[in-house]
Amino acid sequence: MPKKKIRMKVNLPSKHPAKKMKQISQRDRKTRESLIGLADRVVQAAKQRKDPHIDVPSRTLSNVRYSPRKRIIEMGNNTNRRQLFNLSQAKAYMQTMLVASGCKKLVDDGKTTSIRGLFYMLKHTIEGTKEETFSTQDECDPIIEDTEVLLGNLREELHLYAQKRGDMVGPIVLNDSGDQIDCARMGSGGYGIPSIVEPEVVKFVRCDAKFVLHVEKAAVWQRFNEDKFWKKHKCLLTHGNGQPPRGVRRLLHRLHHELELPIYCLLDNDPWGYYIYSVIKQGSINLAYESQRMAIPEARYLGLRSIDLERCGLSESVKITLNENDRKRAKQIVRYPWFEKKRSWQREIKKMLENDFKLEVEALISKDISYVTEEYVPARLRNRDWLD
Amino acid sequence: MPKKKIRMKVNLPSKHPAKKMKQISQRDRKTRESLIGLADRVVQAAKQRKDPHIDVPSRTLSNVRYSPRKRIIEMGNNTNRRQLFNLSQAKAYMQTMLVASGCKKLVDDGKTTSIRGLFYMLKHTIEGTKEETFSTQDECDPIIEDTEVLLGNLREELHLYAQKRGDMVGPIVLNDSGDQIDCARMGSGGYGIPSIVEPEVVKFVRCDAKFVLHVEKAAVWQRFNEDKFWKKHKCLLTHGNGQPPRGVRRLLHRLHHELELPIYCLLDNDPWGYYIYSVIKQGSINLAYESQRMAIPEARYLGLRSIDLERCGLSESVKITLNENDRKRAKQIVRYPWFEKKRSWQREIKKMLENDFKLEVEALISKDISYVTEEYVPARLRNRDWLD
């Protein structure tokens, strides 16, 4: 019994322990445990008179693979050993511990910060030397990613957030940090999707939507919102200002898996649009360790399509000629394993290369300002005319 | 009487005239009048067998001046004549009319779009020729700005919006497009400030705030929001993700002038931070024609300051050495007419050049994660320690 008490003390946060312990969520408790586990392993090694080390899963292309069964990009099992008593590894080892201790402080204090904020929290000159813990942000960022994979905790669980970008509107009521938010009554601006949307922060209270329409750009989202598309079609409307940030991807994932909403993506007919779809669907190579909680293999591509110039009778003047980089990217993307076996995607990408031009969603405006909301998307949905 | 009827018909929008006329706001009515006035002048010139022309106020540096009385940057009276029957001006003349007619359609339809959207609306090959109305967005954007100054209508009044960026939280209740929004109950994300915040879209319903704290970056805003600074200090908290976009500047202007809230700006101690302050306060050279409705000469600079490394006892390791561009910009800014006569600003900028380093607001995190919200800003406010 006394032993248990001591154990408890070690786990207690630094300030106002009693108060904070009450507030700490289930998820924060788990994150703390994994952070403390990391520290415990150093103590154990020391007690056993062994060299402390950590095995960091390797975040290289060679350690990433597509799982045809799960239909997501995953990390393999390769790891890199990082030792304290090794001149070339000691700095990275200590930086990893420093990042972990910074995150533990954040979790204990119930506070969050940006990766820039964490960098400043940890940056200092090591006593008695002229050595800086981190000289630049670039040195800190990969260590943060290492810590994520090492602990198996998402950045958001470590109380770090990425830039916020993206909005949502539609018939869903959320509880965000204790405030009830009706996304159908958010004016012209919509609900700004926060960077941390884990269930402890954002709870789904009530949802009358039948699907999610995710569009690429804020301007297109604005068109759909102004035309109250989400009211007519009982859907949620999201955008991520280009490549959706982690918060938006995670929210789409939760909407799909917890509320069983199909996700339709309205993106540009260009390699960048294809790539955004690919990341939403299978995950990205850089953040392969997050696919499990981010990727949505059932996401559907609703357009724009390489056949749309003819199909929709668009003016020739909305065509944008592909540049060398577009062509190169398209040829890479057409060989992605998840596109390689899909005839429809092979046709789509090859047709774009034949066209030698790309089309933005905004090009539909040349027909009529509301053509995209009143004709294009309703027709695609009615005819179940999408790629997946 | 019959004459009046005919006049009415000309003014009616193209679709569902009766329905739309009811909805059209006072401001939209005024915008339509100025757009129609532009077209009327072409008709008048034709009737009088004169060459149609427009006189566009010149948006060049030489036509911009600082008014010491109003304390804002203003446009002078120089104009450039643009004639239809002049080979070198005909294209620009017709493009201006095209932009105006596109905006009229938007106002009539009660719809808004981005400048990208307008570009696509107007882009087409002129019948019987191979000539495009606009070949690229770059050709369209300055014509949009010309149309703004020509008509004396803000872009937002022409139903065009810029990118949305920036959030607000605090004790204010708004009506945004018919939805009541309590900015004190918006969860972790806050109210996303729309790009169009004119009184027809955003109405102030109730406000219990005593001032506005405007911070530069989303991450800093997040810190203040998480620490509920706005509750403790009864203030509104805004950010503009760097240089605030038009919507944020216009909202700050309205909060200051209509609700009489003082505006305090917490920005980085670097030339970019000084410049952001300068734009909020006096307006920018590029958008001088908007100063009247955007600039806030009474805005106050709350920090960071060149004395803060010593004053706050910050670690040497948070210093960022100025680069050549920083030094150049600082030397330009110190000579801005509104800084030139203020001893405090002369000292501030010279001290930064002497320091030869800059400081970001996030650097305060090295003291403590909540130092900025619990110590720095409260002390500045208590001691009325700001620059203006």
Q: Amino acid letter at B344?
A: S
Q: Which residues of chain A have pLDDT under 70?
A: 1-23
Chain B residues whose beta carbon lies within 8 Å of the beta carbon of residue A133: 317
- Residue A261: partners with Cβ closer than 8 Å, 6 or more residues away: A207, A209, A210, A211, A212, A236, A255
Q: Are B360 and B270 in contact (CB under 8 A)?
A: yes
Instruction: Report the C-alpha gap between A29 and A8 in whole angstroms.
Output: 12
- Confirm whether the ipTM is greater than 0.95: no
Task: For domain B167-382, say whether CATH 3.20.20.60 is its number.
Answer: no
* pLDDT on residue B23: 64
Q: Tens digit of pLDDT for each residue in B122-158?
A: 998 888 888 899 999 999 999 999 999 999 888 889 9
To the query of whether residue A191 is one of the catalytic residues in this protein, the response is: no
Instruction: Report the C-alpha gap between A97 and B76 in whole angstroms.
Output: 60
Instruction: Report the C-alpha gap between A360 and A326 in whole angstroms.
Output: 14
The CATH topology of domain B10-161 is Arc Repressor Mutant, subunit A (1.10.10)
Active-site positions of B read 120
* pLDDT on residue A1: 38
Q: Are B87 and B136 in contact (CB under 8 A)?
A: no
Instruction: Provide the pairing of β-strand B191-192 with B167-169.
Output: antiparallel
* pLDDT on residue A24: 78
Q: Report which DSSP code applies to B252.
A: H
Residue B14 above 70 pLDDT?
no
The alpha-carbon gap from A188 to the nearest alpha carbon of chain B, in Å, equals 6
**Helices vs. strands in chain B: H and E counts, helices first:** 17, 17
Q: Is A75 strand, coil or helix? A: strand
Instruction: Report the C-alpha gap between A252 and A248 in whole angstroms.
Output: 6
What are the residue ranges of CATH 1.10.10.10 in chain B?
10-161
Going by C-alpha positions, the residue among A17, A21, A53 that lies closest to residue A38 is: A53
What are the residue ranges of CATH 3.40.1360.10 in chain B?
167-382
* pLDDT on residue A222: 92
* Reported pTM: 0.86
The CATH topology of domain A170-382 is Dna Topoisomerase Vi A Subunit; Chain: A, domain 2 (3.40.1360)
Q: Tens digit of pLDDT for each residue in B57-111?
A: 998 888 999 999 999 999 999 999 999 999 999 999 999 999 999 999 999 999 9
Subunit contact B187:A167, Cβ cutoff 8 A: no
| The two structure tokens encoding residue A132 | 């800086």
Sheet holding B179-182, edge to edge: B179-182, B172-176, B202-207
Please, what CATH class does the domain formed by A12-158 belong to?
A: mainly alpha
Catalytic residue selected from A120, A191, A275, A371: A120
* pLDDT on residue B6: 33
* pLDDT on residue B142: 93
Instruction: Report the C-alpha gap between B50 and A148 in whole angstroms.
Output: 73
Mean pLDDT of B17-37: 77
Subunit contact B117:A181, Cβ cutoff 8 A: no
Mean pLDDT of B201-228: 95
Nearest by CB: B187 against A106, A116, A177: A177
* pLDDT on residue A8: 32
Mean pLDDT of B211-235: 95
| Chain B residue with minimum CA distance to A177 | B187
What are the residue ranges of CATH 1.10.10.10 in chain A?
12-158
Nearest by CB: B116 against A164, A362, A369: A362
Nearest by CB: A317 against B123, B174, B186: B123
* pLDDT on residue B116: 92
Q: Tens digit of pLDDT for each residue in A18-55?
A: 444 446 788 899 999 999 999 999 999 999 999 999 99
> B1 pLDDT band (50/70/90 cuts)?
very low
Sort residue B53 into left (φ over 0), alpha (ψ -120 to 50) or beta: beta
